[in-house]
Structures are given as C-alpha cells and as structure tokens.
Amino acid sequence: RPVYCSNVAYDENGKPVAPRYATEAAYVAAVDDGFAIDPAVYVDPSTGTSYMTWGSGVLHTVALDPTTRHLVAAADLADGSGPGKDDMDDTNVYKVISRGINEFNEAPYVHFHEGYFYLWVNWFACCAGRCST
C-alpha cells in the first residue's frame, strides 16, 4: 500500500487504479492539499512518535503507525480505499504546518533541537540556477 499519493483512487486491495480528479490542479482545488512531493520523516523525542511531512504550496504532517511506519489508519479516505484527504475540512490527521507566500513553498524538513521543533522549507526559487534558495 502506498504511503501517500495525492490524486489516486485505490481498489479493494489498496492498489492504485485511477486518478480521483481529472487533473492534479482539480484535486488541489478540491482538498486544499498542495502537491505531494518531498517527503521527510521526523520523530517527536518526547513521545517517540514518527511523523512524515511533505508538500509544495501547502505543507502537511501526519503521524506514522509505530509498527508499520505507514500512515496511521485515520489517514485513509472515508471509503477506506487508501490514504488521502477527502475534502478541505479533513485536517484532523493531515495537519497543515505552513502555507507558502503566494502559495509557494516546498521541501519541508522538521528538526528537533533543545526542546523546539524547527521547520525548514524552500521559498520561491528552488530551481533558478545560481539564484536558487
């Protein structure tokens, strides 16, 4: 079963079968999800819970199951077919941790140091040659 894929419908065996929306942009507009790229895992040292963060435009974080390291069961679609957000209000599991300026930021990385979590992200110019951020 895939860990996360934004615009994918799954069959009864958890295999990807088709897009849920006609385009990735239509999916993003429907569920306010950004794009599912740049995953990174971090651990909360106070609880031992592992999380995955990812995104472009809208950055999310979600808990991982302590045994399987897959997304927690609550992260599945309402129909149970696989992971994903059902709509814009599906934020109990998929926490939004950042929104980009003009909807752009990407490649999140969370680091814990001396009691604080630090979020590192790329703003604006990821692929601009010598002007990259």
| Cβ(76)–Cβ(12) below 8 Å | no
What's the pLDDT at 133? 55
Please choose, from the candidates 60, 83, 86, the residue with its C-alpha nearest in 3D space to the C-alpha of residue 73: 83
Mapping DSSP to helix (H, G, I), strand (E, B) and coil, where does residue 131 land?
helix
The CA distance from 133 to 71, in Å, is 30
pLDDT value of position 101:
63
Pairing state between β 116-122 and 106-113: antiparallel
> How far is C-alpha 127 from the geometric centre of its chain's CA atoms?
21
Low-confidence residues of the chain: pLDDT under 50: 1-4
pLDDT value at residue 70: 82
Residue 69: its pLDDT value, please? 85
Please tell me whether the overall predicted TM-score, pTM, comes out greater than 0.75 for this model: no
pLDDT at position 102 is 62
At CB < 8 A and 24+ separation, what contacts does 25-30 make? 28/57, 30/87, 30/88
Within 1-133, where are the H helices?
24-31
